A and B are shown apart, each in its own frame.
Chain A
Amino acid sequence: MTVKRLDINQPKSFEFSNEDLTLINDTIQNYPENRKQSAVVPSLYIAQKRAGGWLPEQAILKVAEMLDMPKIRVLEIASFYSMFNLTPTGHHFIQVCGTTPCWLRGSDQIKKACNDLVGKEGEVSEDSVSWLEVECLGACVNAPAVQINEDYYEDLNYESMTALIKKIKGKKDIKVGSQVGRVSSEPKKMEKNNA
C-alpha cells in the first residue's frame, strides 16, 4: 500500500443533491456551533456516495468550503481513512477482507478469483467492476467475506466467488449473506445433541 493520491482524471464539477445537503446540515447540527468541522467524515462519506464511490478533488473542495476548513485538512482526512477512495471505483465495488481470520480461511483464493475475473486490484474493468483488499470487515465468524457495494457476502471460496462475480457481470440477482446456506452467524453444523 502506498499513499493515496488524487486521480489524474478529475471531473470538472461536483454538486451535492438537496437530500445530501439536508443530511450534511443535520450532521452539522449534532455539534456545537463553532465545531462544524466535526462533521467532516460523514460529509466526505456522503460526497463519496454522490460522486459514485470515490472522492474527486472538487468534492474535497466542496466539503472544505461547507465546513470552513482549510483544504489540506480535508485532504488529510480523505487520504488517511482507507474507506475513502481517491480513485474511481466500479459500479460494483468489491471489497475483499484480507485480515487474519479471513486470510486463514482462504481470502487469498478470493483475491485470486477477483484477479482472474475482474482484473488487477484497484483497476476498473470494462463492465465497471473493481475490487480492493481492505482491512477487517468485522465478519470474521463467516470468514472469508467480501463487501460488494453495501452488502456482505460470506463463507466464500474460489468457486462461490467466481459464481458471484459472473452473476454480477451478467446482471443477475445475487444472494446476500452466507453463500453456504447458514443464517447469519449460527454454527455451521448444528450438532444434534445440543439442538
Chain B
Amino acid sequence: MTKIVIDGENFEVEDGLSVIQACEESGVEIPRFCYHERLSVAGNCRMCLVDVEDARGMSPKPVASCAIPVSEGLIIHTKTERVKNAREGIMEFLLINHPLDCPICDQGGECDLQDQSVAYGHGASRYEQDKRSVENKDMGPFIKTEMTRCIHCTRCVRFSTEVTGINEIGAIGRGRDMEITTYLNKAVTSELSGNVIDLCPVGALTSKPYAFSARPWELKQIESIDVMDAVGSNIRIDTKGNKVMRVLPRINEDVNEEWISDKTRFFWDGLSLQRIDKPYLKENGKFKKVSWEKAISVLSEKLKDSKPNEIASISGDLSSIESIYSLKKLMNSLGSQNTECRQDGSRISGSRERWLFNSKFSGIDDSDGCLLIGTNPRFEAALINSRILRKSKESNYSIGLLGKENELNYGYDFLGDDPNTIKDIINGSHPFCSKLESMKKPIMIVGQGALVGNHGEDFLNLSIKLANKYNFLSSDWNGFNVLHSAAARPGAMEIGFLPGPEGKNLDQIIEGCNSGSISTLFLLGADEVCLSDKSDCFVIYQGHHGDNGAHQADLILPSPSFNEQNGLYMNTEGRVQESVRATFPLGEALEDWKIISMIAEKMKLDFKINNFDELREEIFTLFPDLLEIDNCIEGGNPKELMAEEIKEHIFYNSVENFWLTNSIARSSKILCDRNEFSSNGVFKI
C-alpha cells in the first residue's frame, strides 16, 4: 500500500495505481476524456491535470494524472487555482472546434463534454474565428458519425486495436486536421464495434438505429440479462412506454466487463416485428385466429388422444429456467420421456462439470495457453473471444485450434479439422503436444460444433481424457470448458430437460415426427428445429416470434419474449442470473407458466402452478444450487469415462451466421441489414 495525500486528506491506496485511479478510489473526482480503465493510457486530452508535490517540491506545471503512478508520500492537489485554470483552458481549447449543436445531438443528456463543461468549463467563449468542420465517415449500419463533434480522445482507436483485435479505426492527418476514420471509409466489421458508441465521450459516434428516437431522461431503465448468446451479459434495457428503445451494457467484471456484442446491442427492433399476438390454429393449411379457450381445448384433446410415448417436446434457446421447468412438469405428468433441450443435436449429458465452462471467464485471464476444439469463439461468444485475444498478446501464450478453420482475430496453431487428431494429441504424437506439455494452467474450450452427432458424447469423453492427460485438470485448476451458444441450454441441462431412460433424443424425435411414431410435438420457443416432412404429427408452438417454429406449427400459442417476463438463466459458466421484465407482453400473450398451468387445469392433470413465485420456490427446493443468484454453480473436475471409437464424426460450425442466430435476431431489421454487409464491409449486391 502507498500512503498519499489528496487535497489535504490522507489516503492509503494500492501500489502501482495511477494518480487518477487513486483519486477515484478515494472518492475524489477528476474529469477526463481520453482515459478509460479498460484501455491503454493515451494522455492526450489533458483534462485530468492535477498538481503533484513530492520531496522535490511542487511540480513545475500541472501533470496528467492518468499518466503518472502514485509514489509514497505523494501530495496531490486537485482543487488549486492553477489546476482550475488549466482545466478551464483545456476545455476552452476543446470547445474551439466543437459545434454548439447539443439540442440536435443524440449524446445530449449523457455527454461527458456537456457535463464537464458545466462543471469545469469557462463561462463564456472568447473564440470568434471560423470553426473547423470535418466530413462524416461511413462506419456501417450501427455507428452514426458526426465527426465535427470529435475531440480526438482516440478511445475508439484504442478500443478497436486492443479489445476487438481488428485494427479498423485510426486517426489520419495531424494537428487540427486530425480525423478519426476507418480505412477509406469502410464499415467496421467487428462483432463488438457498437461499444465505441458508449466509449465516445461526445456525440461523434452515436447509435444509428437509435438516432433521434429518445432522450436519456425520458427512458425507464431496467437491469436485466442478455439471451443472445450463452455468455449472459449484464444489460440495461431502456424503455419508453411499452417499447424497448435501446440496450446498453452493465458492468460485471466476471462476465461481460463493460462490453456487449453488437447482436445484444441491436436486437431490440426485432422485439416489435414479426410478433405473435394471438393464438392461431391451422385449418385447411391456413392459420386462423382463435380464442385461448379454443386453443387450449384443441391442445388438450390432442394430448389426451396421444399415448405418452407419442408426445415429444423440444425447448428453445431463449426460454428461461421457469418456462422449461413448467413444460417439464407437464411432460412428466403426461408420462412423456421425449423431452429435449439440445436443439442443435449436440450430445452433452451427465453431471454439470461435463458441460460447463469450468474455469469461468475470469479463468481465461489466469491461463497460460488455450486449446480450442470445434469452436469459433468469435461467433459463439464474442466477449469470451475478446478475453482470449487479450491473453494472446502476451508472449508465450499459444492457442491451438482443432476444428473448422475460422477467421479469428488472433494468431493460432491450426491442428486440422479431423476429430481423430484428438487421439494423436492424447497419445502425445502430435507436434502441438510439446506446447501443451509446457503449459501449467491451460484451458480447453470445446464448442457445441464438436459434440453434434452420434459420437458427440464419445468425443466429449475423449476431450475429458485429453484434459486429464495434460495440465488442464489439477487439484487447484479446472481448465476443461464446454462453450454453449444458446442462452437457455445450461439452465435446461441443469434442470434435466433431457430424454428420459426410454426417451427419444432430437434426431429420434424429428425422425418420429416424419414417420408418424410421434403424434404431438410441443415446441417451447424452439426455432432451430427443422421438420422436413412431418406427416400427421400435430405441432404446437409456444413462443413469441413468427419464425421457423411457428411456420411448422399447427397450433400457435403466444407467449412473451424474455424481456417481457421474469426468468432465471444460467450462463455457460454456470452463473445463475435473473432476467427482469422490462415491458409488458404484447396482445393476448400469456406467460409460459400460465399457459402450461391452463393446460394442466383443462386436462385435470395432477399438478397445479398457482403463481410465479410458487413456481420459482419449487425450482429452488428441487435445485437448491440455483439459489446462488449471480454466482457460479461449481462442478468439480470431470471424471474420465470410456469412449467408443469415433467413426464418421465431423466438426460443425455451431454458429454459421453470427447475426441471425435466434428468432428475435432474425426478426430484427437492423441485424438483417448488418448481415447484408459482407466481411470486407461493402454491401452484397
Contacts and interface: CB of A to CB of B under 8 A. Distances in A.
The answer to whether A and B assemble together is yes
Interface of A: 1-4, 6, 57, 70-73, 75-76, 79-80
Contact of B173 (A57, A72, A80): A80
Contacts of B167: 70, 72-73
Interface string B153-169: 00000000000001111
A20 to B, nearest CB: 24
B592 interface: no
Chain B interface extent, by class: 10 to 19
Contact of B172 (A57, A70, A76): A76
B174 interface: yes
A176 B179 CA distance: 39
A3 B184 CA distance: 13
Contacts of A71: 183
B177 A72 contact: no
A70 B166 CA distance: 8
A72 B178 contact: no
16 contacts: A1-B177, A2-B177, A3-B173, A3-B179, A4-B172, A4-B173, A70-B166, A71-B183, A72-B181, A72-B182, A72-B183, A76-B170, A79-B174, A80-B172, A80-B173, A80-B174
Contacts of B183: 70-72, 75
Contacts of B181: 72
Given A3-B179, A6-B184, A72-B182, A79 B173 contact: yes
B171 interface: yes
B170 A3 contact: no
For the residues of A in contact with B, the DSSP-based class is helix
Interface string B182-193: 111000000000
Chain B CB within 10 A, most for which of A3, A6, A71, A80: A3
B209 to A, nearest CB: 25
Interface of B: 166-174, 177-179, 181-184
Contact of B168 (A4, A72, A79): A72
B120 to A, nearest CB: 30
Nearest to A1: B177
Contacts of A72: 167-170, 181-183
Given A72-B167, A75-B170, A79-B174, 13 more contacts: A3-B172, A3-B179, A4-B172, A70-B167, A70-B170, A72-B168, A72-B170, A72-B182, A72-B183, A75-B184, A76-B172, A79-B172, A79-B173
The 10 closest A-B pairs by CB, nearest first: A70-B167, A3-B173, A72-B170, A79-B172, A3-B177, A72-B183, A76-B170, A80-B174, A71-B183, A79-B173
A1 B176 CA distance: 9
Nearest to B166: A70
B177 A76 contact: no
Nearest to B171: A76
A191 B359 CA distance: 84
A80 B182 CA distance: 15
A76 B181 CA distance: 10
A72 B169 CA distance: 7
A34 B171 CA distance: 24
A75 B172 contact: yes
A76 B174 CA distance: 9
A80 B171 CA distance: 9
Contact of A73 (B170, B179, B184): B170
Nearest to B172: A79
A17 B166 CA distance: 31
A76 B169 CA distance: 10
Nearest to B395: A34
Nearest to B184: A6
Nearest to A57: B184
Contacts of A6: 184
A144 B169 CA distance: 40
A150 B177 CA distance: 28
Contacts of A76: 170-172
Nearest to A79: B172
A70 B184 CA distance: 13
A3 B182 CA distance: 15
Nearest to A76: B170
A81 to B, nearest CB: 8
Nearest to B168: A72
A60 to B, nearest CB: 9
A80 B178 CA distance: 8
Contacts of B178: 3
A37 B171 CA distance: 17
Contacts of A75: 170, 172, 183-184
Contacts of B170: 70, 72-73, 75-76
